[in-house]
Structure 1
Amino acid sequence: MPADFLQLAGKTVLVCGVANRKSVAWHVARLLEEADCRVAYAVRSEARRDQVRKLVGDGPEVLVCDVEHEDQIARLAQDVAQRVGRLDGMLHSIAFADYQDGARPFHETTKRAFLRTVDISCFSLIALSNALKEIFQPQASVVTVSISTTTMASENYGFMAPVKAALDSSLAFLAKSFSQFSEVRFNAVAPGLLKTSASAGIPGYVDSYLYAERATLRGRAVQTQEAAAAAAFLLSPRSAGMNAQRLVVDAGMSTNYFDEQFVRGGH
């Protein structure tokens, strides 16, 4: 196998959404850099930039963009063009669930919370892709981070699952739109439950995580590094034949809901 199997050496990828060392985006960035890929970062605030700068050192560009603000998205595109140059890929690892209204049944979801969550977690992919369309190389790869399933109703995850479903659906429409003038691809890595700082903010997440770990075929939870490896593959030319797809990384959990231990445990 060639040393540069992923063919990422010399490529440039914008990684959006690093928060800390537990972030999926951070693990993806590490793999890209190991493959001799140049990585630039986009984070949501000056404070976050200071935190990420401590992680990455003085070399990479760390740009600020709060995706709730259209002017900042436009400014990011200008900064990328001037300071980074053409992009061979973008990782969109941006998600936020507005739980300000507290835990409540799904049918009581407030319009404010739902629309803000859609804006940050889903529309940001569309807005960033549009803003960067002239900067992407003709065969660039855009990868977002979804979840393994959006159709199993987990009460504590609430309205975030329908938002992720909208994100998944956006892939096909972005891929179709961009096909009119390029070969830019849009795919998602869709992991099972991960142990990240973001997930820790979901009410009752620990119990769900432990259940998911038992439900995997191997009895071990999906690791963030495993989701990151799938994302790195999708960002690479090796996945050139994949477009508008979800790559599920759940260690077989979705095949194992009726395992004997769960069936017997219900009686």
Structure 2
Amino acid sequence: MSFLSLEGKSILVTGVANKKSVAYHIGKTLEAEGAQVIYSVRSETRKASVKKLLDPAPMFVCDVEDEAQIDRLRDEVAKTTGTLHGLVHSIAFANFADGLKPFHETSKRDFLQCVDISCYSLIRLSNTFKDLFAKDASVVAVGISTTRMAAENYGYMGPAKAALDSSLAFLAKSFSAFSQVRFNSVNAGLLKTSASAGIPGYLDSYMHAEQLTLRKKALQTQEVANAAVFLLSERSSGINAQGIVLDAGMSINYFDKDIVRRAQRPEPK
């Protein structure tokens, strides 16, 4: 038996898009620990594209904007396992189809869609699966290292992630009335994923963040997955309503002397 005691535990992982996804790394790490992983993806097209990556694990389609599909997902998962020991929420979306705009020009439609998919879906999934959860199940969401850094190119996803962070605390409190289900998040710094590649100007931000880490090496997706798997295990039983920040020390290193020097005395072009 491994230290994490995840053998035979049934865990639903949502949001796999490709091999670079945080959800993919979490799922594969869980499988390596002996867990029974069930996957949920956004569309039939996505299911076809990741099928070879996830086979032979069960995989279902659920677009979380459609509440009927969330209900259907619960029924499908219930047929696969009688008890769900964990849920991974790795779902987020912001519409940048019209290009990057100043935050104050964010449309109501785009903002509400972002909050619906990136935050409310966790609330809806948790409520829908509450009767299937083991009494001490663990729910883990994927957040960001800080929601107080107003990065222009991240736009309204920042407030949506802030809502997600707050929702975890309220879910932990409300579920405590009838269970010991825990709600936590892994709050990652900048990662090299396909989703982040769609953010305008992300590469420059990623390279800057890498220089701000204490080790001068960017955060790895597998490091985030490792923390998530720990939170899904019984070894983290004392952790509830918390966000575990993974940023390789970036948040305490804004005044790194080399970064400050280059900012004040930029290299000649």
Task: Tell me the secondary structure at the aligned position of residue 265 of structure 1.
Answer: helix
On the 8 A contact 1:100/1:113 being kept in 2, the answer is: no
Counterpart for residue 230 of structure 2: 233
Structure-2 residue corresponding to 1:206: 203
1:11-35 deviations in whole A, cap 9, x for unaligned?
1100000011100000011110111
Instruction: Give CA deviations for 1:204-256 in whole Å, capped at 9, x if unaligned.
Output: 00000000000000000000000000000011111000000000110000010
Alpha-carbon separation, structure 1, partners of 2:210 and 2:242: 25
Distance 1:101 1:244 in 2: 36
Q: Paired residue for 2:169?
A: 172
- Aligned counterpart, 1:22: 20
1:105-144 alignment runs, 5 A limit:
105-144=102-141
Work out the CA distance in 1 between the residues paired with 2:81 and 2:218.
Answer: 36
Indicate whether 1:159 and 2:156 are aligned.
yes
The residue that corresponds to 1:46 in the other structure is 44
The separation in 1 between residues aligned to 2:230 and 2:92, in whole angstroms, is 21
**Structure 1 stretches of 5 or more lacking a match?**
none
C-alpha separation in 2, matches of 1:111 and 1:263:
38
Q: For residues 250 and 103 of structure 2, what CA distance do their matches in structure 1 show?
A: 24
Letter in 2 for 1:180: A
Structure 1 moving runs of 4+ over 4 Å: none
Task: Report which stretch shifted further, 21-30 or 92-101.
Answer: 92-101
> CA RMSD of the aligned region, Å?
0.9
Q: Cα distance, 1:164 vs. partner?
A: 0.3
> TM-score, normalised on structure 2?
0.96
Report the counterpart of residue 102 of structure 1 in structure 2: 99
Count the aligned residue pairs: 264
> In 2, distance between residues paired with 1:116 and 1:261?
41
Partner of 2:251: 254
Shift of 1:98: 1.4
